[in-house]
Homo-oligomer: A and B are copies of this chain.
Amino acid sequence: LSPRALGLWLGALPAGKLNDLTDVPGVTVGHVSLIRGQGPLVPGQGPVRTGVTAVLPHSGNLYRRPCRAAVFVFNGFGKSIGVPYIRETGLINAPILLTNTLSVNDVANGVIDYLLRQNAKIGNNARTPDIVVFECDDSYLNDIRGRHVKPWDAVLAIKRAAAGPVAQGNVGAGVGMSCFQLKGGIGSASRLITGKNGRRFVLGMLVLANFGLQEDLLVNGVPVGRLLPAEASGSYVPGSLISIGITDAPLSSRQLEKLAERTVLGQARTGSLSRPGSGDFALLVSTASLSECESVSDWELDGYYQAVAETTAESIWNAIFLAETMVGRDGHLRRALPLGETLTVIRNWAGGLANGAP
């Protein structure tokens, strides 16, 4: 169950209908999950605990009809690709893919396959697209050396991309991810924002959550990670956080960059310290037509900032509340967050007044 379903407070703004990224009109998400084998690691064979997730801002031809976009790198300890072009042009002109660190290039090759097929002029008399693949390291559970995600898996994820609801937890790129030494993965959330003239916009977020020590975990400010029994099963492997936010509001790339920066506010609420070794990348995209003049004043961005902070935090909590216990290579175990104990801990905490320091 999600923290929202459990009754926790998750911010002041109203969530969208599905409370996920696909609440943004036209946005689709597709997952390919690869789970095969068990037992000791045999590089190249498995066990396989990985996957790929595709996010499409619209279902048209992204190469021909790019979207305004911005990236913010809070912690650059990552190997995601496609960042400098977005910074330079303020545009994204390819599907957005997420996968494991060593499969970035196979996934990128899948996207190239897809785009070359879709656009015969690329590399002939038209410019090459900017391939965007984000990654986290799932090697604690997965045979990452085996590079089991293949180009056709990326193409399949793109083809599977559909309107919501978005599957969350151990799915797609999230299959093998860990968060706070618990099971992590994919999470998503959305918020509705009312513009100055009453026009309503949606902001949706999708995260790949794969970071942190158990002791870091905060839920609504409660040091849940410290109050739960130490998770004996899993050693810490530095991980990363990828945040993909999309809105239908006509924001400029300069404004989208400000939104991307605010993902840090949400990640902080979950207790993230953005530890060494973490690649914390945020991509923000607007689906508004490029021909529409950016019409939102900087002074109206407050609502978007709040939506980004709230959805980033809720998406991360969703990822760990909705993930399930998984055993991976070499018997490595990542437990699901124990929901009952977590609620008890939250109920009894009272800012430390009732419960004492952990």
Interface set of A (CB-CB < 8 Å, partner B):
6-10, 12, 41, 43, 73-85, 87-90, 101-102, 104-106, 108-109, 112, 116, 122-124, 127-128, 130-131, 137, 139, 144-145, 147, 215, 218-223, 226, 238, 252-254, 258, 261-262, 264-269, 272-277, 279, 281, 293-294, 298-302, 305-306, 309, 343, 346-354, 357-358
Contact = CB atoms under 8 A, between A and B. Distances in A.
A202 to B, nearest CB: 18
Tally of this chain's copies: 4
A265 B273 contact: yes
Residue of A116, A238, A348, A351 with most partner-chain B CB within 10 A = A351
Contacts of A343: 353
A144 B123 contact: yes
Contacts of A264: 74, 264-265, 268
Given A89-B77, A127-B277, A253-B254, A222 B102 contact: no
Contact of A124 (B73, B139, B220, B276): B139
A221 B269 contact: yes
Contact of A254 (B43, B90, B276): B90
Contact of A82 (B43, B79, B123, B131): B79
B352 A9 contact: yes
A23 B43 CA distance: 40
Contacts of A266: 268
A112 B276 contact: no
Nearest to A350: B347
A139 B123 contact: yes
Nearest to A257: B254
Contacts of A127: 137, 238, 277
Given A75-B88, A84-B76, A347-B354, A12 B273 contact: no
A305 B123 contact: no
A213 B351 CA distance: 22
B358 A351 contact: no
Contacts of A147: 109, 112
A73 to B, nearest CB: 5
Given A139-B124, A274-B262, A12 B351 contact: no
B88 A84 contact: no
A263 B139 CA distance: 30
A105 B102 contact: no
Contact of A123 (B131, B145, B277): B145
Contacts of A105: 104-106, 108-109, 112, 131
